[in-house]
């Protein structure tokens, strides 16, 4: 039991499931399409995580056949136990994915009011696998061993403002904003040809652009009066919106590796709107009859079942010499 069989909650609200349908999972997940994940919470905003194993629809609600994970966000009271203000700044770095972390936490209390703000930013790359630095980054297809290049960002903002006129009554409002993006290239695309004699032209380079964005605004009333019906009472009204996108496109970036957009002759228009070349001389148009010449190139073949084919640049200078002969 995993993935959507495990319920995820943040401050009592159920989170979205993955958009990868079970019917197309085996077909598409292996090479990127619809390969997004479930949204989560920023760990810097959490004060408690409760993990329950097994089905528990009473505490976790529906969708918890394989258990549940419940997150609870921080409160100003967690920091204001000894004094009426708190401030901290955290700076971190993770070598596994070259991730930079910046977190600013501010909390304060004045008479009946208290507030907290937690601002977090993360920027990193792909998670480096074992032997990452030794693998050839030019290899593409299912023979690729190096992790695909990705750029990941995460921005999180947690704001809470509370009013507690007495010891038994507390009113609070909250804004929890979370946005995570992941952009990269699927060089390990399993259906990509793996022949040995290939150039690095990006005719259809696979680009992934995934995003998870969550916005939650809530109003909470808490009653701490002990009665025969309850020890404490908490009522919350929340309005949550989650946007999940898993996008994969095949296109060329438009750089010098795009054979359809290369301009080796440097053709351009001058100030007089005339077509000129690298030497700024006017282009001349002549009719040249089509000429073709067959060039035989022997390609080695390894018929063994353990053969591995990698990308290799074609020896274009050799072919050009054969054409001139």
Model confidence over 206-226: pLDDT tens digits? 788 888 999 999 999 999 999
Residue 195: what pLDDT?
A: 42
Q: What average pLDDT does range 193-207 have in this prediction?
A: 58
Determine contact, residues 244/16, Cβ cutoff 8 Å: yes
Express each pLDDT in 166-187 by its tens digit: 999 999 999 999 999 998 888 7
Contacts of 323 (CB under 8 A, 6+ apart): 293, 295
Asked whether the predicted pLDDT for residue 98 surpasses 90, the reply is: yes
State the chain's mean pLDDT as an integer.
81
Distance CA 145, CA 20 (A): 25
Determine contact, residues 115/84, Cβ cutoff 8 Å: no
Distance CA 172, CA 101 (A): 29
Please give the domain boundaries of the chain with CATH numbers for all domains: 7-251 (2.40.170.20)
More confident residue, 283 or 314: 283
H or E segment to which residue 57 belongs: helix 57-60
DSSP string over 248-283 = EEEE--SSTT-TTT--TT--EE-TTS-EE-TT-PBP
Tokens matching residue 119: 């601002």
N-term to C-term CA, the chain: 67
Please tell me what DSSP assigns to residue 128: P
What are the CA-CA distances from residue 68 to residues 38, 54, 95, 102, 240 (Å)?
14, 8, 30, 29, 19
Express each pLDDT in 24-60 by its tens digit: 555 555 555 555 567 889 999 999 999 988 887 777 7
Residue 196: what pLDDT?
A: 39
Distance CA 258, CA 76 (A): 54
Asked whether the predicted pLDDT for residue 162 surpasses 70, the reply is: yes
pTM > 0.75: no
Asked whether the predicted pLDDT for residue 272 surpasses 50, the reply is: yes
Q: What average pLDDT does range 224-235 have in this prediction?
A: 92
């Amino acid at each position: 039991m995993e993935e959507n069989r495990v319920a995820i909650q943040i401050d009592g609200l159920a989170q979205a499931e993955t958009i990868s349908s079970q019917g197309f999972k085996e077909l598409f997940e292996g090479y990127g399409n619809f390969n997004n994940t479930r949204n989560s919470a920023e760990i810097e905003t959490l004060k408690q995580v409760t993990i329950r194993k097994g089905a528990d629809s009473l505490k976790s609600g529906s969708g918890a056949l394989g258990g549940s994970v419940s997150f609870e966000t921080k409160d100003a009271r967690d920091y204001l136990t000894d004094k009426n203000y708190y401030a901290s700044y955290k700076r971190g770095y993770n070598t596994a994915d070259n991730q930079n972390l910046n977190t600013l936490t501010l909390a304060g209390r004045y008479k009946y009011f208290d507030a907290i703000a937690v601002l977090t930013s993360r920027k990193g790359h792909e998670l480096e696998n074992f032997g990452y630095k030794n693998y050839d980054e030019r290899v593409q297809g299912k023979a690729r061993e190096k992790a695909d290049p990705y750029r990941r960002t995460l921005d999180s903002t947690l704001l809470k403002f509370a009013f507690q006129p007495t010891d038994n009554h507390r009113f609070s409002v909250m804004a929890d904003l979370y946005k995570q993006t992941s952009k990269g290239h699927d060089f390990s695309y399993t259906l990509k040809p793996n022949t040995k004699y290939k150039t690095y032209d990006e005719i259809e380079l696979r680009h992934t652009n995934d995003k998870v964005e969550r916005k939650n605004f809530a109003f909470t009333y808490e009653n701490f009066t002990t009665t025969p019906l309850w020890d404490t009472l908490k009522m919350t009204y929340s309005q949550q919106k989650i946007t999940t996108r898993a996008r994969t496109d095949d296109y060329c970036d438009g750089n010098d590796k795009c054979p359809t957009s290369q301009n080796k002759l440097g053709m351009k228009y001058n100030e007089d709107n005339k077509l000129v070349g690298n030497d700024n001389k006017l282009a001349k148009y002549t009719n040249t009859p089509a000429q073709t010449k067959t060039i035989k190139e022997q390609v080695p073949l390894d018929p063994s079942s353990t053969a591995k084919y990698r990308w290799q640049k074609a020896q274009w200078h050799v072919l050009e010499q054969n054409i001139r002969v």
